[in-house]
Amino acid sequence: MNYKIRLATTEDAKSLSAIEQALFTGPRSEATFKSSIELDDNAVAIVAESNGAVIAYADVYKAYDELQLNNIAVLEQYRGNHIAEQMMQILADTGRELECQTITLEVRESNEPAIKLYEKCGFHRVGMRKNYYSDNENAILMDKEL
């Protein structure tokens, strides 16, 4: 499969919102993505694009010397092509360029595929947030030293 990964632009906001609507409960709006990409110097978003269509994205927020992974999402029909792994590597490289020490994230305790991806990418479990999500599911806290 041919795809390229690049920085997101405000023109991608509609696609990012559509991916979230397809995959997540409580998706962010197009306006939220547009504002973050356009106005927030601490936000970084990347997209994977195939044949002119955005098929995946990941976004992080820089706080002091840490990157916080907000979301990583790959449309279901494109999973299994190592897109998420490559995006995670790019985000780690970006964190190093921004002089960050760690990348942190929260993941649903039931999301085994995501947990396996993060562990494969070098993340370690460092804690738990009880009843973190709106449905009272716990969040596993993970981080990766850069």
Q: Which of 20, 30, 49, 106 is catalytic?
A: 106
Q: What is the 3-state secondary structure (H, E, C) of the chain?
A: CCCEEEECCHHHHHHHHHHHHHHCCCCCCHHHHHHHHHHCCCEEEEEEEECCEEEEEEEEEEECCEEEEEEEEECHHHCCCCHHHHHHHHHHHHHHHCCCCEEEEEEECCCHHHHHHHHHCCCEEEEEECCCCCCCCCEEEEEEEC
Residue 85 a catalytic site member:
no
Catalytic, out of 38, 99, 118, 133: 118
Residue 118 annotated among the catalytic residues of the structure: yes
Q: Which residues are catalytic?
A: 106, 118
